[in-house]
Chain A
Amino acid sequence: MDREILNVENIDKSFDGKEVLKDINFSVYENDFFFILGPSGCGKTTLLRIIAGFLEPDKGRIILNKKDITKVPPNKRNIGFVFQNYALWPHMKVIDNIAYGLKIRRYTEDFIRKRLEEILKITKLEEVKNLYPSQISGGQQQRVALARALIINPQVLLLDEPLSNLDAKLRDDLRREIRRIHRETGVTMVYVTHDQKEAMTLAKRIGIMGEKEIIQIGSPYEIYSNPKNLFVASFVGDINVLKGRIIEKRQDILKIETNEGFFFAKFKKQINSENVFLCFRPESITVSEKINIIKGKMQDYEFYGDTVKINLITEKGNLIKIGIYTEDYDKFRKEGNIVFSIREDKIIILEE
């Protein structure tokens, strides 16, 4: 693993007696692209503002490069921040907005010019550099905000929902831009968002945040395939949930009873309670085999071209969503029903 560059340790924070953050812990590595993903209002922006130094935590420490910076004012931290509303200064041209951090640091004009050129090139802003923020598009404003934060060579770059003010098409473009910029500059990024698609497609690692707390940290794949609880499971992607009871355990095979019958699951993690949730992703299925069979009537479907997602209702009244390749559709149809098997190695067992 790379060198740790930022450590967030035991952070607590309350506003007017209302707890917003509780015992937050995580580390960010050099060249990391770390996401904090959580629903709106879970305290993730507050967390970011504490790291940047705009807020002081009630408890806990922020360590940057092995130095405790919890009490260091924001202007002495050298942490970049991209604001949700960009916070561009309307009275300065693009170029002056971007150069601000270097001018404050009193670099030579030569150096500033060179660095500006570099950054303008990376962020593709050469053509608008002499315009005012009000004269450029939303996407360009976003890039100016990025450039302004990047130019000071921050140890860590914090991004607070940077794409939330843009429309869908632009968001896709800029997502790619941000990835490219991360690759080209190698800057360590901590990115806050409520958009799971953003997090899943960009992140090296994700911290899933529920109310006040970080619930799980891992790579997108780990989180998707091995969520810690129902909240995480349903926050990243679709998931089907059946209530069940473990009735038998043989090596790593579990036999689980649900109201859809018995299911067998290969699940390595330690399960302590008997009552569990049997979960599976829509795509974790195959054409029906001997075991783990579910049968239902198609209610409706979403057609994506190569794949199709089908919503079924079983005889017992459970709603199930499956995703299959369009070309396989006929294989799942039997006498007016949809029939399939859940893959035993893909079942996720969560404790109640």
Chain B
Amino acid sequence: MKKKTVLFVLILLFFFCFLIYPISFILVQSFYHNGEFTLEIIKIALTNYVLRKSIINTLLLGLIVVLTTTIIGVPLAFIFDRFTFRGKSILRILFLLPMIASPFVGSIGIKQILSRFGSLNILLIKMGLIETPISFIGSGFLGIVILQTLHLYPIMFLNISASLNNFDISVEEASYNLGANHFQTFFKIIFPLILPGYFAASSIIFIWSITDLGTPLVFEFNNLISVKIFHNLKDINTNPVGYALVFIILILTVFLFIFTKRYLEKTPYTTGKTAIQVKENILSGKKLIFLYLFLYFILFLSLIPHLTLILYSFSKKWFFSIFPQEYTTEYYKVVFTHRLTKAGILNSLFYSSLSTTIDIFLGFSIGYILSRWKIKGKGFLDILSMVPLVIPGIVLAFGYVASFSNTILDPKNNPIFLIILSYSLRRLPYLIRTTYSSFLQLDRSLEEASYSLGGDNKTTFRRIIFPLVSPGLFAGSILAFAFSLMEVSSSLILAVRERFYPISKVIYTLAGRVTDGPNTATSLGVIGMIVTGLCLFISTKIISKKIGEFFRIG
């Protein structure tokens, strides 16, 4: 019992120091200026012309991306749910691919296509369609929308697919049977049933979109809250505006998260399943061609950033032409020899391994405590462990910089500890949830059978519990590792000195250099993409369909 209490208290302490404290610090700083309580800072944030514009832009961005991902993701989910066609299972995986590269890396590729003298303009000029190049990217806003859409629509796809999967086809048939037509059935039955899933997906997409830092930075679009926060870091101690902006984004995400969760709890729509033979929707002829055209078009669009990235990484010269003029593999060698990239790779591997180790340990312990222990304050731990879901990376990182400045942990001196912590905290809820649900599914009697046959606590744990829970944990930790490896916002914010740069920051830095920097950056990006893809693939193999749960609320 005493050991238990110690572990429990230590875990609570951990959350307090590295989650509650930094967040509270931000809250306090947003309302206290020069030791006095004031609403002045919030007022400035809301009334200052530039800041207000950033806030409006941010909200607009989130809403537009929700809309665009809806347009792509929802039809896609319906197609995959309703029709049988060749190559369906491979296509399903291909449509998830866009998730593996962060939009931030992809945006380097897209810039090459859409810029004033990029491939698309050159193509249009050569075809004689235009005479002077068009500014596709413009201020950069459109670029961000495109990149985020192509990156985030799989979340919509996954969630709507899951919703459609949740109810049996007979629910629809019952409606037809009672005289309703397709239109009535859609609006009275199908739509209300997928609404919760749609809502959940929309709020995740909205939150991801408005807290994305990397993409707007690459497109140099400054009038967004996330970028403003990033630039305010430099004078964090003198200018309180950063706090106010962080506060606003925090309020937005927390509110949206709680609202979504409440809504989902109220509407747990599932029905029993039957193994009936559904009307054969094997398409043929014109319809099939139409379907393939649509699917491959979307797929092509969503893979453009990745394909360009790969092309870029192999290019030696790529100016004023549709495709690179010369190719080389040189930059892949550079990646492993260049001082900055070499350090970046090693740093990221180090940070990610450690943060994943922490995640495994904490995820398992907390999952176990929540499902098996009877201890006071368990409910509190339950809430605490889900808080990181609500806290955007940019907010947490800002909180770290703010609250640990001028302490031993000051990221300006040595950010290793805080980077690792921020990585692990962000992914912790997923691991807790995986183990927690594994424990819940683990029938108590399996353990009791072991006890009745003479197994003690230790043996039972080692021989029964751990082997049964570990697949989920393993899959979860691979994913956590992959995400940490390419994590953007904390990496950009916390790593200040070059020798601590993780991969993302190296890519960002190199992409900004004029000479051959972008080539090296893209090569590194491609390598990262491959590693992430592999990790995703492995964990999908292990936990198969449940992969969607990592991208859902609820």
Contact = CB atoms under 8 A, between A and B. Distances in A.
Interface of A: 15-16, 20, 45-46, 49, 52-55, 73-81, 83-91, 100-101, 104-105, 134, 148-149, 152, 165
Contact of B168 (A79, A85, A100, A149): A85
Contacts of B173: 52, 54, 74, 81, 83, 87
Given A78-B179, A87-B271, A54 B279 contact: yes
Contacts of B175: 75, 89, 100
A83 B269 contact: no
B174 interface: yes
A75 B271 contact: no
B174 A91 contact: no
Contacts of B168: 85, 87
B264 to A, nearest CB: 13
A126 B269 CA distance: 24
Contacts of A81: 173-174, 177
B178 A148 contact: yes
B127 interface: no
Contacts of A80: 177
A70 to B, nearest CB: 15
A55 B175 CA distance: 15
Contact of A83 (B181, B274, B277): B274
Contacts of A74: 173, 176-177
B170 interface: yes
Contacts of A89: 171, 174-175, 189, 193
20 contacts: A15-B277, A16-B280, A53-B176, A54-B173, A55-B277, A73-B176, A78-B179, A81-B177, A83-B174, A85-B272, A87-B168, A87-B271, A89-B171, A90-B269, A90-B270, A90-B271, A100-B180, A104-B179, A104-B180, A148-B174
B90 interface: no
Given A15-B277, A85-B170, 11 more contacts: A54-B279, A74-B177, A75-B175, A81-B174, A84-B170, A85-B271, A89-B175, A100-B180, A100-B188, A101-B178, A104-B179
A88 B179 contact: no
Contacts of B176: 53-54, 73-75
A105 B178 CA distance: 9
A100 B179 CA distance: 9
Interface in B160-188: 167-168, 170-171, 173-181, 184, 188
Contacts of B189: 89
A186 to B, nearest CB: 20
A134 B268 contact: yes
B178 A104 contact: yes
A160 B273 CA distance: 14
- Which of B178, B189, B269: most chain A Cβ within 10 A? B178
Contacts of A76: 179
A104 B176 CA distance: 10
A75 B177 contact: yes
A349 to B, nearest CB: 39
A87 B267 contact: no
A55 B277 CA distance: 9
Contacts of B273: 85
B179 A45 contact: no
A80 to B, nearest CB: 7
Contact of B272 (A79, A86, A105, A152): A86
Contacts of A54: 173, 176-177, 279
Nearest to B269: A90
The range of chain B's interface size is 20 to 34
B92 to A, nearest CB: 21
A132 B176 CA distance: 21
Contacts of A77: 177
A221 B285 CA distance: 52
A87 B174 CA distance: 7
Contacts of B129: none
A54 B172 CA distance: 10
B512 interface: no
Ranked 7 nearest A-B pairs via Cβ:
A101-B178, A85-B272, A87-B170, A87-B174, A74-B176, A90-B269, A83-B170
Contacts of A46: 277
- Which of B171, B267, B277: most chain A Cβ within 10 A? B277
B554 interface: no
- Which of A16, A77, A100: most chain B Cβ within 10 A? A100
B315 to A, nearest CB: 48
A348 B215 CA distance: 83
A261 B320 CA distance: 103
Contacts of A85: 168, 170, 271-274
Contact of A152 (B179, B192, B271): B179
B453 to A, nearest CB: 32
Contacts of A73: 176
B280 A15 contact: yes
Contacts of A49: 276-277
A74 B273 CA distance: 21
Given A55-B279, A86-B272, A91-B269, A75 B171 contact: no
A79 B176 CA distance: 10
B178 A100 contact: yes
A165 B168 CA distance: 15
A281 B178 CA distance: 44
B171 A87 contact: yes
Contacts of B188: 100
A53 B175 CA distance: 12
A90 B196 CA distance: 12
A152 B277 contact: no
Interface in B191-207: 192-193
Nearest to A55: B279
Nearest to B184: A104
Contacts of A105: 179
A123 B487 CA distance: 59
Interface in B251-289: 267-274, 276-277, 279-280
Contacts of B272: 85-86, 165
A72 to B, nearest CB: 11
Nearest to B193: A91
Contacts of B170: 83-85, 87
A134 B280 CA distance: 31
Contacts of B181: 75
Nearest to B167: A90
B498 to A, nearest CB: 56
- Which of B167, B175, B267: most chain A Cβ within 10 A? B175
A90 B267 CA distance: 9
Contacts of B167: 90
A134 B166 CA distance: 14
Contact of A101 (B179, B269, B274): B179
Nearest to A49: B276
B276 A45 contact: yes
Nearest to B282: A16
A46 B121 CA distance: 57
A37 B170 CA distance: 22
A20 B107 CA distance: 54
A86 B180 CA distance: 17
A314 to B, nearest CB: 43
Contacts of B184: 104
Contacts of B177: 52-54, 74-75, 77, 79-81, 149
A183 to B, nearest CB: 24
